[in-house]
Amino acid sequence: MTVRNGSAEWHGNVESGSGTVTVGDGVFEGAYSYDSRFGEGKGTNPEQLIAAAHASCFTMALSNILSAAGHAPESLRTNARVQLRNIDGAPTLARINLDTEGRVTGVDEQQFQAYADEAKRVCPVSRALAGVPEIVLTAKLAADQ
């Protein structure tokens, strides 16, 4: 079993305080605050970290599925956007958009979409985020293939 770690430290109240988040044993460390989460302040926030985790997990899953089918990708690029909305008075992860583009020889758009749909279904982070009401996937092949 693989276990990964992350940590966070916070000082002060939620609106004027600030914190630091650490991924792994210092692979990434960044500041976060109320303003970086709910406004446009400098620093990161949990939703950006979730987006990065989802994009990276999904992209690896897609690469694995394509490779197993004999279509190792030249490249895959995924952008995830996590929408935080106020629902019933509580900040809620309401929607995630996954937009992926690939350079993959030997597949057409329909096949690529099917592989991407499968990756979304089996990606551990997608499964962990199953409580998010909408996870919308757009998959396309690079135009200059």
Task: Give the number of other Cβ atoms within 10 Å of residue 85's Cβ.
Answer: 11
pLDDT band of 84, cuts 50, 70, 90: very high
Confidence (pLDDT) at 145 = 66
Q: What average pLDDT is seen over the chain?
A: 96
CATH number, domain containing residue 126: 3.30.300.20
Residues 102-131 have pLDDT tens digits of 999 999 999 999 999 999 999 999 999 999
Q: How confident is the model at residue 1 (pLDDT cuts 50, 70, 90)?
A: confident
Q: Which two tokens stand for residue 58?
A: 């999904």
The whole-angstrom separation of Cα 140 and Cα 137 is 10
Same domain? For 51 and 32 the reply is no
Do residues 54 and 20 share a domain? no
Domain that holds residue 31: 6-38
Number of domains in the chain: 2
pLDDT digits (tens, 9 = 90+) for 20-43: 999 999 999 999 999 999 999 999
Calpha distance 125→89 (Å, rounded) = 26
More confidently predicted of 1 and 70: 70
CB 52 within 8 A of CB 46: no
Please state whether beta strands 28-33 and 75-87 pair in parallel, antiparallel, or not at all (unpaired).
Answer: unpaired
Q: Are residues 67 and 126 in the same domain?
A: yes
Query: The dihedral of CA 125, 126, 127, 131: what is its sign?
Result: positive
